[in-house]
Structure 1
Amino acid sequence: MGVTVEAHTIYRYPFEQVVASYLRKYPSPMEKHVTAVKTVEEKTDLSTGIIYRRRIATCQNVIPQILRKVSVLKVSDIYLEEESWLNMQERIMSMKTRCLTWTQYASLQEESVFRESLENPNWTEFIQKGSVSIKGAGLLNCLLEAFAQTFLNQGAKKGITIMESLLQEQFGSPFL
């Protein structure tokens, strides 16, 4: 079956500032579950200027202890891979994220975009769409998907709040 999560917001800051803050967002004391982010590949296409990055995030396992009685769920860390394509000329950064842990049982995928707002060129629009699908866990499939949907919705809201805090901390009050 699967569940989906969507988020959309406008940051009242220029694209360059939003992207710079995003790339420094984690780890952060504001989000204890993300313990590390490591860039494992970065290259620039000389013909287009597009910067490609592949990063691996290490996150604490947030699955409730009661569900961790299932041996496959009994891991301390979860790994996510994020690929991004930053086009400064067109002022857009596209990202794809997927879970590297439990791939035989779960599919977690997310697509996000930061782009210059059509409403105001000094603002940045953020759009995020994600999905989670669990398989092979029998009756636990629906329970795990419901937990994932709740956690991801909260995570999306928290991520937006963290970005707002970082932007305000680094650049002051937003452009209006």
Structure 2
Amino acid sequence: MVITVETRKMYRYPFERVVDIHLNKYPTPLEEHVRGIKTVEEKKDNVSGIIYRKRIATCNNVLPSILRKVLVMNVDDVYMEEESWLDGKRRTMNIRSRCLTWTQYATLQEVSSFRECAANPNWTEFLQSGSVTVTGVGRLNRLFELFAQSFFNRGVKKSVAIMETILEQRYGCPCS
């Protein structure tokens, strides 16, 4: 079974500010489970101007103890890969993220985009869809899927709240 989550958020801040906060929000005391992010590749296409980045996040394993009884799930660190394509001319940033840990047991991926709002160029639209498929843990597949769905839903809300908090701290109240 595939678990999916979708979200849409309008940030009342300009594109450049929102993208800057996204690229620099972690680590932060607002999210204790993301311990660090390292850029492992960055390059700019001289013709299009698109900046490509590949980053690896080191996160705490948030699986509950009952799910950690499956020995391969009992690890301290979980690694996430994020690839992004920032197009300053079109004022868009597309992102693809996936979990690098437990790939033989589950597929966790997200596709996101930031883009200038068509109705108000001082606002930024954020779209995200994510999915989780668990296949390698037998009768526990459904239990892992239910946890993943709950975790995804909470994670999306928390990530948006962190973005809003940092934007407001750095730039003040949102522009109209």
TM-score range relative to shorter protein: over 0.9
State the Cα deviation string for residues 107-132 of structure 1 (Å, max 9, x = none): 00100000001221100000000000
Partner amino acid for 2:30?
M
2:30 matches 1:30: yes
TM-score, length of structure 2 as denominator length: 0.99
2:82 matches 1:77: no
Which position in structure 2 is the counterpart of 1:90? 90
Partner amino acid for 2:44?
T
Report the Cα distance in structure 2 between the residues aligned to 1:131 and 1:9, rounded to whole angstroms.
18
Over the matched positions of the two proteins, sequence identity in percent amounts to 59
Which position in structure 2 is the counterpart of 1:126? 126
State the Cα distance separating 1:139 from its structure 2 match. Answer: 1.2
Q: Secondary structure of the residue that 2:65 maps to in structure 1?
A: coil
State the Cα distance separating 1:43 from its structure 2 match. Answer: 0.3
Report the Cα distance in structure 1 between the residues aligned to 2:156 and 2:67, rounded to whole angstroms.
23
Which position in structure 2 is the counterpart of 1:170? 170
2:160 matches 1:145: no
Partner amino acid for 2:82?
E
Report the Cα distance in structure 2 between the residues aligned to 1:90 and 1:24, rounded to whole angstroms.
21
Which position in structure 2 is the counterpart of 1:65? 65
The alignment's C-alpha RMSD in Å is: 0.6
Which position in structure 2 is the counterpart of 1:41? 41
Report the Cα distance in structure 2 between the residues aligned to 1:119 and 1:111, rounded to whole angstroms.
23
Q: Secondary structure of the residue that 1:67 maps to in structure 2?
A: helix
2:161 matches 1:161: yes
Can you give the 5+ residue segments of structure 1 that lack an aligned partner in the other structure? Answer: none
Report the Cα distance in structure 2 between the residues aligned to 1:149 and 1:137, rounded to whole angstroms.
17
Runs of 4+ in 1 over 3 A off after TM superposition: none
Can you give the 5+ residue segments of structure 2 that lack an aligned partner in the other structure? Answer: none
Partner amino acid for 1:59?
C
Report the Cα distance in structure 1 between the residues aligned to 2:66 and 2:31, rounded to whole angstroms.
23
Report the Cα distance in structure 2 between the residues aligned to 1:36 and 1:79, rounded to whole angstroms.
10
Which position in structure 2 is the counterpart of 1:16? 16
TM-score, length of structure 1 as denominator length: 0.99
